[in-house]
Amino acid sequence: MSNTVVIPGGRDVRATRDTANDTATPETLVVACPPHPLQGGSRHDRRLQAIAESVTEAGADCLRIDYGAYDAGRGECVDVKRAVEWAGARAECVGLVGYSFGATVALCAAARGVTDTPVVDGVVALAPPSRLPIAAGTDDTRAGETAPALEADDHGVDGREDTEWSAVAALSTLADSDCAVDVAYGTRDSTVETGPVVEAARAAGGAVVDVDADHGFTGRLDEVADVVVDAVDRWR
């Protein structure tokens, strides 16, 4: 069963909650972060849908989100933070999964939870690029309206050094936490350079899975979904 959710906060964040059963308080809720919104990424991404189907079959709920107005990663991290807060009020165990741009957003958001709240139990990064666009100096390339000013308690998200928008730096932070980390990548990925992130994940003690696939995991979605389900089973 699925239903639409509006995530509270200063940005317009909509989500689809896929439920494993009728209970209002699931044991585990996985927040799923879509790929780059300027490249068609949304909560209806086929990878996120495959993950949601497998996760719910395994007994956990999944919250597939759409980001608010494009903000090169900065506002998107706030969106994920708000979604995790929403999930944490409803489930005992909360984790993150993201694909491509969404994978790095998930890692950065999880790393911020180590020193701030909320903390997640685990994160699965699928084909993560090494950094978010804001780290490359493209934070002024926004689609449509400019994202609203961040709220006072989000001050730690704005104005950070470039390394704070790096998947490698996020993994270094997560290495010293109780947050479990899994990274899966396609061995034939010619879209993003996943090598530095994979090396950082191994150095941080995270689980790394190589998939014989391209960046989109074409023809391997079942295998990728199994990676997520295995990770969720370890979180709870």
pLDDT band at 146 (very low <50, low <70, confident <90, very high): very low
**Model confidence band, residue 156 (pLDDT cutoffs 50, 70, 90):** very low
Please tell me the predicted confidence (pLDDT) of residue 118: 75
Is 2-235 in CATH node 3.40.50.1820? yes
If we measure between CA atoms, which residue out of 16, 3, 2, 32 comes closest to residue 95? 32
Distance of alpha carbon 8 from alpha carbon 201, whole angstroms = 32
Q: Is the pLDDT of residue 95 over 70?
A: yes
Q: Give me the pLDDT at residue 134, please.
A: 87
Q: How confident is the model at residue 136 (pLDDT cuts 50, 70, 90)?
A: low
Q: Is the confidence at residue 66, as pLDDT, over 60?
A: yes
Least confident of 42-51, 101-110, 128-137, 205-214: 128-137
Residue 87 has pLDDT above 90, yes or no: yes
Residues in the chain: 236
- Cβ-contact 182, 99 below 8 angstroms: no
Please report, for the chain, the start and end positions of each structural domain, with discontinuous segments joined by +.
2-235
- Listed range (61-70, 114-123, 135-144) with the worst mean pLDDT: 135-144
| Residue 26: per-residue pLDDT | 82
More confident call, 155 vs 97: 97
As beta bridge partners, residue 33 has 98
Which percentage of the chain shows pLDDT scores above 70? 85
**DSSP category for residue 166:** B
Residue 29: the pLDDT is: 97
Backbone torsions φ then ψ of 60, nearest 5 degrees: -110, 160
* pTM of the full structure: 0.88
